[in-house]
């Protein structure tokens, strides 16, 4: 008999120290966690990891291409908004 897991937390680590398949990343490598229920991410459950470190013994933060592109877009938007407000 198999148990079907319908709820869990999805941990989002950076890419500098990728854990083995099925393993939980080190706490200082986890950017954030979200709860998943019935295969859907519950956005309201987003929790940044307070123990995350930008720089560890394994190196500096390494984001996925998707996260890096999103970060750059948000930074550009913030710079433009600040320029317009000053």
pTM score of the predicted model: 0.73
Query: pLDDT tens, 22-46?
Result: 888 999 999 999 999 988 999 999 9
Question: 40 and 62 in contact (C-beta within 8 Å)?
Answer: no
Residue 4 clears pLDDT 70, i.e. is over it: no
Q: Is 12 inside any structural domain?
A: yes
Count of positions (residues) in the chain: 86
Looking at the 3D structure of the chain, how many domains does it have? 1
Cα separation, 4 vs 16, whole angstroms: 31
Q: Is 37 inside any structural domain?
A: yes
Q: Is 1 inside any structural domain?
A: no
Residue 3 clears pLDDT 90, i.e. is over it: no
Tokens of 71: 């970060």
Domain residue limits at 21: 7-61
Angle at CA 9, nearest 5°, toward 8 and 10?
120
What is the per-residue pLDDT for 69? 97
Q: Is 23 inside any structural domain?
A: yes
Q: For the chain, how long is the longest CA-to-CA vector?
A: 64
Q: Is 55 inside any structural domain?
A: yes
Query: Which of the four pLDDT bands, split at 50, 70 and 90, describes residue 1?
Result: low
Alpha carbon distance, N-terminus to C-terminus of the chain:
64
């Amino acid at each position: 008999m198999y148990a079907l897991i319908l709820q869990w937390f999805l941990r989002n680590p950076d890419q500098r120290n990728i854990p083995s398949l099925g393993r939980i990343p080190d706490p200082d490598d986890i950017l954030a966690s979200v709860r998943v229920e019935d295969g859907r991410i519950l956005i309201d459950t987003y929790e940044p990891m307070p123990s995350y470190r930008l720089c560890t013994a394994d190196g500096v933060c390494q984001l996925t291409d998707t996260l890096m592109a999103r970060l750059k877009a948000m930074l550009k938007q913030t710079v433009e908004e600040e320029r317009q407000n000053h």
